[in-house]
């Protein structure tokens, strides 16, 4: 971009009433590198698709730049919300202004913050993502719904299952080279197992100036926007996300967790709200499908061919795995994501997938994270054994109300019954089942 063009891609934001405007400059403070996306493409990306990714990346950047209240302040006040005012450059401000209520509701749902969105006119012509803004695929099938691929175990299982059925377009977002390398290794390994074609397209998002907030609750919107951009570019009417139901619904482990302290990145309501926004933006029906929403992680693993086990062994589930930026760093073994992975592999009788790397913490049953997960499983089992199990679950986990109208209660009950059974298998393997269940 020229200097004049760059001035048209400034994101302005402030936190709290009376605070001064601050700004993020595209190409210096915030970059979204789409070369991994562009090299497969031929024609122009719709302007609204570029705008959507610009908005999502801008919200992500502001989310990272503005620190939440301290832990002590959060405990004293009972909330961790922020007031965030952001101005984003787009191709048609009036069009986006009409979507402001829906966008602010989605961001509020994801982050618990009070967002106030404004839109300014960006330069006519190519957007800040790349000089050519190319988009209709020339080397992959058009119309096929892209699948989000993170490099984690769930997304790798879903990618393998999709490749067994036909050609696949996989969309990834990475923030460092180790994350990108993992995604590339897993995707290429899975592609070699299938006669069908895989177009693995990626975006790199970078904040060179860093950020003071680590919760990053807007990441889900950034991932969804990247996938939607690919879908709109190929003429597809939707997007596929790969997340097991327990992880997507993500009930809090402890009563002290409130709202989005338990991330809602791929929650059914998030997917529904995002699909509605893209439908309103494009004027055509758009849906975000989660084919494994009513499966546990162990069931998703069980649905995946054992021929993929070696490729799956390179996946990363650890909460700190990618943030370490160190290749082949051992997963921590203590975060809830590591424990859920270990529990699911035992329940699916596929522990071989974890045979390549050992965990830094070998005995999870001695950890507070494990205690929280076991306490949740115990409470789930207790509710599921009540005569009116659904209302018992609602009283124990009020967050389930957010599933109303989106997921069948019977399916949710079956999901958690199966999850509790799997957790009991894991407890037995550790020799601690009597202590907890």
Q: For residue 215, what pLDDT is reported?
A: 83
Q: For residue 75, what pLDDT is reported?
A: 61
Is residue 112 left, alpha or beta, with left meaning phi > 0 and alpha meaning psi from -120 to 50?
left
Name the one residue in this structure whose structure tokens are 């050519």: 132
229 falls within a domain: no
Listing DSSP states for 266-288 in one string gives: T-HHHHHHHHHHHHHHHSS--EE
Q: For residue 138, what pLDDT is reported?
A: 45
Q: Identify each DSSP E strand in 110-209 by its residue range.
A: 114-121, 147-148, 168-174, 198-206
371 falls within a domain: yes
Rounded CA-CA distance 63/114 in Å is 12
Of 99, 121, 143, the residue that ends a domain is: 121
Percent of the chain that is helix, strand, coil (3-state, to 5): 45, 15, 40
In this predicted model, what pLDDT tens digit does every residue of 216-265 receive, in sequence order?
Answer: 899 999 999 999 988 888 889 999 999 999 999 999 998 667 767 889 99
For residues 382 and 417, is the Cβ–Cβ distance under 8 A?
no
187 falls within a domain: no
336 falls within a domain: yes
Q: Which residue has the higher pLDDT, 361 or 189?
A: 189
245 falls within a domain: no
For residues 158 and 242, is the Cβ–Cβ distance under 8 A?
yes
What's the domain range around 63? 3-29+45-121
Q: For residue 73, what pLDDT is reported?
A: 67
Of 97, 121, 145, the residue that ends a domain is: 121
- Confidence label for 339 from pLDDT (cuts 50, 70 and 90): very high
Rounded CA-CA distance 180/162 in Å is 21
197 falls within a domain: no
Total count of domains within the chain: 2
Name the one residue in this structure whose structure tokens are 């199990």: 389
Alpha helices in 118-266 (DSSP H): 153-163, 177-191, 219-234, 245-249
Rounded CA-CA distance 200/170 in Å is 5
208 falls within a domain: no
**CA dist list (Å): 283 to 43, 48, 280, 286, 378:** 21, 11, 5, 9, 46
222 falls within a domain: no
- State if pTM tops 0.85: yes
Of 121, 149, 164, the residue that ends a domain is: 121
In this predicted model, what pLDDT tens digit does every residue of 158-197 receive, in sequence order?
Answer: 999 999 999 999 999 988 888 889 999 999 999 999 999 9
């Amino acid at each position: 971009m020229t200097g004049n063009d760059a001035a048209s891609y400034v994101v302005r934001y402030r936190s709290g009433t009376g605070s001064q405007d601050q700004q993020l400059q595209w190409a210096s403070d915030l970059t979204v590198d789409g070369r991994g996306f562009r090299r497969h493409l031929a024609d122009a990306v719709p302007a609204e698709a570029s705008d959507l990714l610009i908005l999502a990346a801008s919200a992500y950047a502001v989310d990272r730049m503005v620190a939440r209240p301290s832990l002590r302040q959060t405990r004293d006040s009972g909330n961790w919300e922020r007031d965030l005012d952001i101005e984003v450059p787009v191709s048609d401000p009036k069009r986006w202004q009409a979507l402001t209520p829906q966008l602010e509701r989605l961001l509020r749902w994801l982050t618990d913050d009070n967002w106030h969105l404004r839109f300014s006119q960006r330069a006519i012509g190519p957007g800040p993502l790349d000089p050519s803004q190319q988009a209709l695929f020339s080397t992959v099938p058009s119309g096929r719904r892209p699948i989000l691929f993170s490099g984690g175990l769930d997304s790798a299982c879903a990618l393998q299952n999709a490749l067994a059925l036909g050609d696949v377009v996989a969309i990834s977002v990475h923030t460092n080279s180790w994350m990108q390398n993992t995604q590339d290794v897993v995707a290429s390994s899975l592609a070699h197992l299938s006669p069908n074609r895989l177009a693995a397209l990626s975006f790199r998002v970078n904040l060179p100036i860093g950020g003071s907030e680590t919760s990053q609750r807007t990441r889900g919107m950034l991932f969804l926007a990247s996938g939607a951009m690919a879908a709109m570019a190929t003429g597809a009417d939707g997007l596929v996300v790969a997340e097991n139901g327990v992880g997507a619904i993500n009930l809090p482990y402890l009563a002290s967790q409130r709202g989005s302290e338990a991330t809602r990145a791929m929650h059914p309501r998030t997917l529904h709200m995002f699909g509605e926004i893209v439908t309103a933006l494009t004027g055509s029906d758009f849906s975000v499908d989660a084919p494994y929403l009513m499966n546990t992680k162990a069931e998703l693993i069980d649905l995946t061919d054992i021929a993929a086990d070696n490729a799956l062994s390179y996946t990363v589930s650890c909460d700190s795995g990618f943030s370490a930026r160190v290749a082949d760093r051992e997963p921590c073994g203590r975060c809830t994501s590591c424990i859920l992975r270990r529990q699911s592999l035992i329940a699916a009788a596929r522990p071989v997938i974890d045979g390549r790397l050992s965990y830094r913490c070998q005995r999870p049953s001695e950890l507070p994270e494990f205690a929280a997960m076991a306490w949740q499983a115990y409470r789930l089992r207790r509710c599921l054994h009540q005569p009116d199990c659904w209302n018992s679950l609602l009283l124990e986990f009020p967050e389930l109300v957010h599933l109303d109208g989106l997921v069948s209660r019977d399916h949710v009950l079956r999901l958690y019954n199966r999850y509790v059974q799997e957790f009991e298998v894991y407890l037995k393997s550790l020799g601690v089942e009597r202590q907890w269940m």
